[in-house]
């Protein structure tokens, strides 16, 4: 019997989950839930229905793991503790500062229901967090560096779009190559915000808009751009669509550490991602952890979990024997 | 109370373990065991004794985790199943083809004794294996590449030393940069052995030895060199000592995979290590897994394990709460 996956929310992430399920023979899409009118939501998988979000609880016996594809700001803080009453759930909650309280709420509800809720799954938080943990455990005398990009930041793109006279915009976060090289050299550099990343903006201005003012408003925007070297390119709507409609991302987690009787030996651990589609890669991570949630819950495990709590073997459909033979 | 570590075998790896213990406040070195005369073995840690290997079993209540620092060819196949009768043990067994039988022997003995035996810990097998597993679980439709180096291969250096007229030698395995770049580009190249790595040899020849013959014997040696582009440099014993006495190593694990409705998006996951000291880094990994063995066994877990079976949180001394707050 296949693992029956439910998708709550059918945006970029939900569509990514649907694609990822097709790559995993031990899984099947059971249902998609939406807050929109289900009649208006067209999915790719034949024979699978779209339901109203309110119908989910009544389908608790039809779904093994519900993947919550809502946003961290307003959806997940209420959705994850709610749906873990009925299902094993996975979310990609990424508001770092609020992880402790989100975890506490999910853990309490999951313990009460006997289900598993794995929060903050994806690549950061997620795979990057795992790599920080492994590298810290191995090299306690060391220093962490995380770089993001080159990739599209949705939040920064939105911030530009709110400026008067801007029709559309796309913002790329770009790691500074010389900073990366300094870190890789083992020189343990102290790097300011400005030295680590630059910001590249592609902006479609309204006809007759004052481009100099727009550029200035972008470059001086507090929190978003003021602390960075920012480049602004004005382009046409057609160019934006043709060259900037993808959602690539990626980044680097690097730890430099010392070992030896007198710390005389340097070591560099580096993990990097180069992703054509941020939401599809995130979906692929979510699906692997959905398998783990299902298997662990079958073994009687319940409660709130993060990627730190899951033994890697649970992520794959292969047996321990196969893994030891082929991947160890 | 600190975790009491025993070291079985005091070579490069054993010394690395001793250094690593000093970097971890929750651990202490309890004893070192050797097959040599203990009087002849001088260790760095004051107040800690060196014992004969045969005395180990009698100290089963004084040691929480025994780290086995012997070789994979002859030591570990017998040592790991033997010592897991008395201790939680960690080894770095790296004969890939014999892992299944080694695991079976350790698992049976560990289940009988109620201890944990984690085998094949280090970086390959070890961290590289983990990264292969995570990347395979996330990107099922993809392809793995592993590159090693630049680093010293002990086995290849030894093979050169066995040639008539060779006084000493050091062999470096070097990944081919253009092959790495081809992999990173996402072109999924088919790479032959020769295309992935070159071999660089630094050889001290005996006075009057026929260098042309030595070079030819190296370059045509089956299994070790014949399938590679090999460079041979003859240098003096002094140069070898001055420039080639370190034991650096490292490498790259890369997985390229596709996602999307029609596999239209490419993703690259890359993990790399650049290590000044192969044995000290391996020791640092072993020590982190020693902590996991201790904690899991306290929770009542026993049996044979690999890095695949250990949830990452067990590797660090930090609580789940601290990890979620600072590393997630």
Q: How far is B156 from chain A (nearest CA, A)?
A: 22
Q: CB A259 to CB B277 under 8 A?
A: yes
SS in 3 state form for chain B?
A: CCEEEEEECCCHHHHHHHHHHHCCCCEEEEEEEECCCHHHCCCCCCCCCEEEHHHHHHHCCCCCEEEECCCCCCCHHHHHHHHCCCCEEECCCCCHHHHHHHHHHHHHHHHHHCCEEECCCCECCEHHHHHHHHHHHHCCCEEEEEEECCEECHHHHHHHHCCCCEEEEEEEEEECHHHHHHHHCCCCCCCCHHHHEEEEEEEEECCCCCHHHHHHHHHCCCCCCCCCEEEEEECCHHHHHHHCCCECEEEEEEEEEEECCCCCEEEEEEEEEEECEHHHHHHHHHHHHHHHHHHHHHCCCCEEECHHHCCHHHHCCCCHHHHHHHCC
pLDDT at B236: 98
Q: What single DSSP character describes residue A246?
A: S
> pLDDT tens string for chain A (328 positions)?
999 999 999 999 999 999 999 999 999 999 999 999 999 999 999 999 999 999 999 999 999 999 999 999 999 999 999 999 999 999 999 999 999 999 999 999 999 999 999 999 999 999 999 999 999 999 999 999 999 999 999 899 999 999 999 999 999 999 999 999 999 998 999 999 999 999 999 999 999 999 999 999 999 999 999 999 999 999 999 999 999 999 999 999 999 999 999 999 999 999 999 999 999 999 999 999 999 999 999 999 999 999 999 999 999 999 999 999 999 9
Q: Does the CB of B274 have a partner CB in chain A at under 8 Å?
A: yes
Q: CB A259 to CB B320 under 8 A?
A: no
pLDDT at A9: 97
Q: Measure the CA–CA gap between A92 and B46, rounded to whole angstroms.
A: 49
Mean pLDDT, residues B168-181 taken together: 97
Q: Measure the CA–CA gap between B121 and A239, rounded to whole angstroms.
A: 51
Long-range contacts of A96-103 (CB under 8 A, 24+ apart): A96/A125, A96/B328, A98/A72, A99/A125, A99/B324, A99/B325, A99/B328, A100/B321, A100/B324, A100/B325, A102/A76, A102/A77, A103/A304, A103/A306, A103/B324
Instruction: Give Cα B222 to chain centroid, integer Å.
Output: 25
Q: Does the CB of B266 have a partner CB in chain A at under 8 Å?
A: yes
31-50 in B: which are within 8 Å (CB) of A?
Answer: 44
Determine which of B19, B125, B128, B265 to mutate to test the interface with A (most A C-beta atoms within 10 Å). Answer: B265
Q: How far is A186 from chain B (nearest CA, A)?
A: 10
Return the residue of B nearest to A315 by Cα: B137
pLDDT at B284: 98
- Give Rg (Cα) of chain A: 22
**pLDDT by residue (tens digit) across B279-298?**
999 999 999 999 999 999 99
CB distance B15 to B284 below 8 Å: no
Write down the mean pLDDT value for chain B: 97
**pLDDT by residue (tens digit) across B232-241?**
999 999 999 9
pLDDT at A244: 97
Assigned token pair, A225: 């751009």
Enclosing H/E stretch for A266: strand A265-275
| Helix, strand, coil shares, percent, chain A, to 5 | 40, 25, 35
CB distance B30 to B62 below 8 Å: yes
Mean pLDDT, residues B45-69 taken together: 97
Q: Measure the CA–CA gap between B291 and A291, rounded to whole angstroms.
A: 27
pLDDT at B122: 98
Conformation bin of residue A233: beta by default, left when phi > 0, alpha when psi is -120 to 50: beta
Q: How far is B281 from chain A (nearest CA, A)?
A: 7
CB distance B16 to B42 below 8 Å: no
Q: Measure the CA–CA gap between B115 and A290, rounded to whole angstroms.
A: 31
Assigned token pair, A298: 């079958």
> Taking Cα atoms as reference points, which of B84, B44, B34, B40 lies closest to residue B280?
B44
Q: Does the CB of A212 have a partner CB in chain B at under 8 Å?
A: no
Q: Measure the CA–CA gap between A282 and A291, rounded to whole angstroms.
A: 15
Decide if the complex's ipTM is over 0.90. Answer: yes
- Residue B224 pLDDT class (50, 70, 90 cuts): very high
Q: What angle do CA A94, A95, A97 make, to 5 degrees?
A: 135
Q: CB B327 to CB A308 under 8 A?
A: yes
Strands (DSSP E) found in A20-139 = 27-34, 50-52, 65-68, 88-90, 116-118
pLDDT at A257: 97
175-204 in B: which are within 8 Å (CB) of A?
Answer: 184
Q: CB B327 to CB A133 under 8 A?
A: yes
Q: Measure the CA–CA gap between B90 and A163, rounded to whole angstroms.
A: 59
> Taking Cα atoms as reference points, which of A132, A168, A163, A164 lies closest to residue A147?
A132
pLDDT at A90: 98
Q: CB A272 to CB B270 under 8 A?
A: yes
Task: Please give the C-alpha separations between residue B212 and each of A244, B208, B216, in angstroms, as whole numbers.
Answer: 59, 12, 6
> Taking Cα atoms as reference points, which of B242, B268, B296, B320 lies closest to residue B131?
B268
Q: Measure the CA–CA gap between A15 and A19, rounded to whole angstroms.
A: 6
Q: Does the CB of B84 have a partner CB in chain A at under 8 Å?
A: no
């Amino acid at each position: 019997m296949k693992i029956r996956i439910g998708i709550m929310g059918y945006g970029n992430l939900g569509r990514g989950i649907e694609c990822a399920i097709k790559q995993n023979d031990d899984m099947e899409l059971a249902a998609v839930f939406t807050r929109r009118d289900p009649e208006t939501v067209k999915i790719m998988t034949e024979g699978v229905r779209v339901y109203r979000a309110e119908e989910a609880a009544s389908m608790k016996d039809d779904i093994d793991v519900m993947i919550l594809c809502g946003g961290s700001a307003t959806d997940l803080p209420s959705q994850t503790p709610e749906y873990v009453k009925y299902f094993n759930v996975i979310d990609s909650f990424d508001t770092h500062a609020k992880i402790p309280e989100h975890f506490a709420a999910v853990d309490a509800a999951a313990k009460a229901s006997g289900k598993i809720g794995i929060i903050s799954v994806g690549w950061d938080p997620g795979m990057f967090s795992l790599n920080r943990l492994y590298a810290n455990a191995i090299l306690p005398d060391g220093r962490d560096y995380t770089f993001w990009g080159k990739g599209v930041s949705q939040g920064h793109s939105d911030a530009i779009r709110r400026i008067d006279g801007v029709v559309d915009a796309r913002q790329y976060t770009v790691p500074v190559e010389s900073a990366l090289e300094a870190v890789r050299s083992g020189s343990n550099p102290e790097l300011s915000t400005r030295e680590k990343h630059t910001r590249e903006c592609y902006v479609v201005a309204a006809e007759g808009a004052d481009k100099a003012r727009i550029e200035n408003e972008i470059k001086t925007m507090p929190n978003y751009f003021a602390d960075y070297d920012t480049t602004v390119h004005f382009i046409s709507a057609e160019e934006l669509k043709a060259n900037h409609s993808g959602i690539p991302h990626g980044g680097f987690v690097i730890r430099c550490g010392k070992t030896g009787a007198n710390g005389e030996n340097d070591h560099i651990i580096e993990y990097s991602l180069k992703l054509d589609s941020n939401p599809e890669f995130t979906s692929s991570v979510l699906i692997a952890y959905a398998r783990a949630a299902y298997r662990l819950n079958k073994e009687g495990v319940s409660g709130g979990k993060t990627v730190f709590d899951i033994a890697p073997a649970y992520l794959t459909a292969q047996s321990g024997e196969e893994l030891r033979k082929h991947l160890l």
